Amino acid sequence: MDTHDPANSGAGMNRRQALRCLAAWTGTAVVWTVAGGVPRTLAATGGRTTIAAPDDALTFVQISDTHIGFNKGANPDVVGSLRHAIAEVNAMNPAPAFIVHTGDVSHLSKPAEFGTASELLQEFRVARVHTVPGEHDTIDNGTTGYLRHFDHDGSGRAWYSFEQGGVHFVGLNNVETFKQSTLASLGPEQLAWLKSDLAGVRSSTPVIVLAHIPLWTVWEPWGWGTADSSEALALLRPFGSVTVLNGHIHQVLQKVEGNIALYTARSLAYPLPAPGQEGVGEPGPVTVPAGELGKRLGTRTLSVVRGQRELALTDTPLDG
Amino acid sequence: MKGESFRIGRPWSRTLALLSLVVCAALAVPAPRVAAALPAIVELDIAKFAYTPKEITVAPGTKVVWTNRDESPHTVTSSDKKFASTGLDTGDSFEHTFSTEGDFGYLCTVHPYMTGVVHVHKK
Contact across the interface for B112 and A182, Cβ inside 8 Å: yes
Q: Is the pLDDT confidence value at A8 over 80?
A: no
Cβ density class A36-70: b for 16+ within 10 Å, e for less: ebbbbbbbbbeebeebbbeeebbbbbbbbbbbbbb
Chain B residues in contact with A226 by the CB 8 A cut-off are: none
- The DSSP secondary-structure symbol of B74 reads B
Among A230, A237, A228, which residue's Cα sits nearest to residue A207?
A237
Q: Is the pLDDT confidence value at A136 over 60?
A: yes
Does residue A222 sit at the B interface (CB-CB below 8 Å)?
yes
Q: Is the pLDDT confidence value at B9 over 90?
A: no
Q: Give the tens place of pLDDT for each residue, A174-208.
A: 999 887 778 999 999 999 999 999 999 999 999 99
- The CATH code of the domain that includes A226 is 3.60.21.10
Contact across the interface for A222 and B79, Cβ inside 8 Å: no
CA distance A182 to chain B (A): 6
Please state the rounded mean pLDDT for residues A32-40: 37
Q: Is the pLDDT confidence value at A3 over 60?
A: no
Cβ atoms A299, A268 nearer than 8 A:
yes
Q: Is the pLDDT confidence value at A10 over 60?
A: no
- CATH code, residues B41-120: 2.60.40.420
Range of the domain at A268: 57-317
CA distance A285 to chain B (A): 7
Domain count for chain A: 1
Q: Give the tens place of pLDDT for each residue, A137-149.
A: 999 999 999 999 9
Diameter of chain A by CA atoms?
53
DSSP letter for each residue of B19-43: HHHHHHHHHHSHHHHHHHHSPPEEE
Q: How far apart are CA A141 and CA A137, in angstroms?
A: 9
CA distance A1 to chain B (A): 42
Substitution target in A71, A180, A181, A280 with the highest count of B β-carbons within 10 Å is A180
Q: Is the pLDDT confidence value at A35 over 50?
A: no
In a domain, A3, yes or no: no
Q: What is the 3-state secondary structure (H, E, C) of A124-145?
A: CCCCCEEECCCHHHCCCECEHH
Q: How far apart are CA A256 and CA A23, in angstroms?
A: 12
CA distance B9 to chain A (A): 56
Global ipTM? 0.80
Domain ranges in chain B are 2-37, 41-120
Q: Give the tens place of pLDDT for each residue, A245-265.
A: 999 999 999 999 999 999 999
Q: Global pTM?
A: 0.81
Does residue B103 sit at the A interface (CB-CB below 8 Å)?
no
Mean pLDDT value across chain A: 85
Q: Is the pLDDT confidence value at B31 over 90?
A: no
